[in-house]
Chains A and B, each alone.
Chain A
Amino acid sequence: KQEVTQIPAALSVPEGENLVLNCSFTDSAIYNLQWFRQDPGKGLTSLLLIQSSQREQTSGRLNASLDKSSGRSTLYIAASQPGDSATYLCAVFMDSNYQLIWGAGTKLIIKP
């Protein structure tokens, strides 16, 4: 059974720092991996989608990498801003079904 783990569970850093969020998964038979952002009381916003054949994706200050063989992904946020404060979740789509399997998220606080 696929398990997705995110470390750390919470992170607080000063504004302007570069930071890395980690995601690991136990079953490498994934179709893609996605990173989402969730603001309190809101739904989820898709940030980046990496297909299993890709190594990384970039969008603005965000860069996500995927190492499928080792079961790891990282989300790199450059020059963090207070508006980046949110919970960041990673999720994997399995090859075999229609289910996104989610991590529990990393709660990020950027201090002004």
Chain B
Amino acid sequence: GAGVSQSPRYKVAKRGQDVALRCDPISGHVSLFWYQQALGQGPEFLTYFQNEAQLDKSGLPSDRFFAERPEGSVSTLKIQRTQQEDSAVYLCASSPRGPHNSPLHFGNGTRLTVT
């Protein structure tokens, strides 16, 4: 596709359920980021992949959060045993080269609501 695609667009989960959020970056993009955005706030960094390698996962808030990009393209963010504080918009972004030298292209996000 022409841009970064995220699915699902909206997800409602009951507390304690596991969820999986998908990101399809722009084809050929090396860098992939996940961010979490609470209402009225700027995004917060979660994790960074360069191709299939997860180079920084320091932003993942707990061990319930797990991200992978096994073939260096599609990425999945998994949240186990969801809690109400996990409710947020989860944004994926990709860039064609390393993380510092090119603009990021963002998807429209997945809005997760935990009830």
Contact = CB atoms under 8 A, between A and B. Distances in A.
Interface string A93-110: 100011111111100000
Q: How large is the interface on B (under 10, 10 to 19, 20 to 34, 35 or more residues)?
A: 20 to 34
Contact of A43 (B41, B44, B99, B106): B106
A31 interface: yes
B44 A102 contact: yes
Contact of B105 (A34, A46, A49, A98): A46
B103 A100 contact: no
Interface residues of A, number: 24
Contacts, number: 62
Interface in B52-82: 55-56, 58-59
Tell me the dominant secondary structure on chain A's binding face. strand
Given A43-B4, A43-B91, A89 B42 contact: yes
B40 A42 contact: no
A100 B33 contact: yes
A43 B42 contact: no
A31 B103 contact: no
Interface of B: 4, 33, 35, 40-45, 48, 55-56, 58-59, 91, 93, 99-109
23 contacts: A34-B103, A36-B106, A43-B93, A44-B43, A44-B91, A46-B105, A49-B102, A89-B42, A93-B100, A97-B56, A98-B45, A98-B56, A98-B99, A99-B48, A99-B58, A99-B59, A100-B33, A100-B43, A100-B104, A102-B42, A103-B42, A104-B40, A104-B42
